[in-house]
Amino acid sequence: MTHAVSNQPPPLVGRDVFADDHALVEAVRRHGARDALSRLHDLGMLAGSPEAQGLAVEADTHSPVLRTHDRYGNRVDEVTFHPSWHALMTTAVAFGLHATPWSATEPAAHATRAAGFMVWSQVEAAHLCPVSMTYAAVPALRTDAGTAAVWEPRLTSTEYDPGIRPPAEKGGCLAGMAMTEKQGGSDVRANTTTAEHTGDGGWYALTGHKWFCSAPMNDVFLVLAQAPDGLTCFVVPRMLDDGTRNSFRLQRLKDKLGNRANASAEVEFDGTLGVRLGEEGRGVATIIEMVAATRLDCVLGSAALMRRAVAEATWHAAHRSAFGGLLADAPLMQVVLADLAIESEAASALAMRLAASVDGADDPQERALRRVGLPVAKYWVCKRTPALVAEALECLGGNGYVEESGMPRLYREAPLNSIWEGAGNIQALDLMRVLAREPDAVAAWHAEVETAKGADRRLDACLDDTDAALRDVARDPVGSTHLARRLATRMALLLQGSLLARFAPASVADLFCATRLDRPEGTFGALPAGFDVGAIIARATPELL
Ligand SMILES: Cc1cc2nc3c(=O)[nH]c(=O)nc-3n(C[C@H](O)[C@H](O)[C@H](O)COP(=O)(O)OP(=O)(O)OC[C@H]3O[C@@H](n4cnc5c(N)ncnc54)[C@H](O)[C@@H]3O)c2cc1C
């Protein structure tokens, strides 16, 4: 033997990913999803298994392949995925991480699904893209009862049945969306794809292109196009009712920074048939429910990435020594880990609170909170994720920079949720729209934060300051546009602080309020003295079964 390997942490496999995420377990309990605990533990054990981790590596390594034509030259426009992708999708759909909560009768179905989404996306994030879009399509499809009646049973089925075949013959279907064009994604009103009525019921023929269309093997897409009366939403199936393929030309797959297991295509439409959803000219209003639901998943997905990164960092530090002691006992590593842990916990608490507001959608207060909470949470949580993942990666030292650690995959994925469904500025501008036009939503935000009033003087002071800033903005919303990121940040932090002050251990809430609401610092780990960082790290460190 030339040498023995020592001081390398054991692999972080063979655990219940749900059980050791105390912040998530507590959120599930308080949002009324206790009945789902045992199912979530089952999913957590699957997520922490070596088999699932292996599937994630395979799916990321073997990117999907575009096949435009068959051997005879006929267009097929198909994408071939590695078997590991299908295995991951099978579990996601079987657990109902896609559209199932919309047809569920049990309470807290959306909170349950959100927790499952957070657990399972810690295995591999990319395959959750078609899962999210299918979840998000249902509220938009409900604009038209007839269309919803056709598609909802297919989208809520827990059978994963891949392949382009007539939807009526499939055990379950998946949905996607295509809004973004070459000349612009944020400004969809500039879309150039046209839609002409075919004269056959609600069917239109679409001509044009989409610059990003993820998961193009899904069965049906919500597409924006310019009809005679303006931008309109269409339901575009890949297979038509007569058993022929709809024109759906996949030009290229994107060569992406991360999210490599998933396919994102450029598509051209040439007389592509779609059924109108909602009125002509009301495309944005129709698709907005889908956009809102996918924004929720961006927050959940980012919170999940943070949790996975923190689990890896705390695990490594708990098993790696330097200079004669465990990294986890080094004071300067402790402040870094504790800072990362509270960021992750705050993200999880906010993501789950917003998911629970979907369960409470009959309550106007919950709807109003979701309206303002989504843009601020999407802005802040998604934006914090790349910074957190980079710092967590560094906790693993050189090992963290190496693919086998899994950290580079998290790092490449980390910026995506902030771009998807409206990049950071678009979220901040959406907040300004809320501030200018929707006083009920602002009031719902205030009421939610105020439930923690008196719990922490720093929270109270920050709320007073932010209220004053909001009053200033109300006097001149347009002239205050440059303040949008600042306001979104404060409003997200206050929501997080209020949740932690009410529900997290005192050590977590105390450190969060001191470092986020009182005296924020630029980097992770630049903490003041006098906080119980040991308790925070212990709570965040995963355990094997
Ligand atoms: C991997 C991947 C998959 C995707 N999949 C899909 C999909 O399936 N379907 C789909 O429709 N789209 C998809 N997209 C597209 C994505 O939603 C868009 O890229 C995103 O909405 C931003 O649009 P854009 O790229 O055109 O950027 P732009 O709209 O050009 O924006 C560029 C930058 O300018 C900022 N900005 C824009 N307007 C303003 C303003 N008024 N003031 C200040 N700043 C502003 C934005 O915040 C952004 O930072 C995908 C993107 C990626 C990366």
Kindly report, residue by residue over 89-127, the tens digit of the pLDDT: 999 999 999 999 999 999 999 999 999 999 999 999 999
Euclidean distance between CA atoms 155 and 213, whole angstroms: 18
- Nearest CA-CA partner of 110 in 420, 353, 381: 353
Contact 295, 287 (CB under 8 A): no
Residue 1 clears pLDDT 80, i.e. is over it: no
- The mean pLDDT of 204-209, rounded to a whole number, is 98
- Nearest CA-CA partner of 461 in 414, 501, 431: 501
Residues 264-303: tens digit of each pLDDT? 999 999 999 999 999 999 999 999 999 999 999 999 999 9
Non-local (6+) Cβ contacts of 50 within 8 A are 11, 13, 14
Euclidean distance between CA atoms 45 and 95, whole angstroms: 13
User: CA dihedral defined by 419, 425, 431, 436, rounded to 10 degrees?
Assistant: -140
According to DSSP, the residues that pair with 207 across neighbouring strands are 194, 270
Q: Whose CA is nearest to atom 49 of ligand 1?
A: 423
Euclidean distance between CA atoms 154 and 149, whole angstroms: 9
Measured in Å, residue 57 CA sits from the centre of ligand 1 at 28
Strands (DSSP E) found in 215-329: 220-227, 230-237, 249-253, 264-277, 321-322, 325-326
Residue 227 clears pLDDT 90, i.e. is over it: yes
Backbone angles phi, psi at 251, to 5 degrees: -80, -45
Tokens 């303002």 correspond to what residue? 372
Q: Whose CA is nearest to atom 50 of ligand 1?
A: 212
User: CA dihedral defined by 98, 99, 102, 106, rounded to 10 degrees?
Assistant: -40
Structure tokens at 409: 């995959």
Euclidean distance between CA atoms 176 and 312, whole angstroms: 32
pLDDT band at 479 (very low <50, low <70, confident <90, very high): very high
Euclidean distance between CA atoms 224 and 201, whole angstroms: 19
Euclidean distance between CA atoms 376 and 494, whole angstroms: 10
According to DSSP, the residues that pair with 227 across neighbouring strands are 230
Residues 364-399: tens digit of each pLDDT? 999 999 999 999 999 999 999 999 999 999 999 999
Ligand 1 proximal residues by C-beta, below 6 Å: 176-180, 184-187, 212-214, 256, 259, 264, 416, 419-426
pTM for the whole structure:
0.98
Measured in Å, residue 424 CA sits from the centre of ligand 1 at 9
Contact 489, 428 (CB under 8 A): no
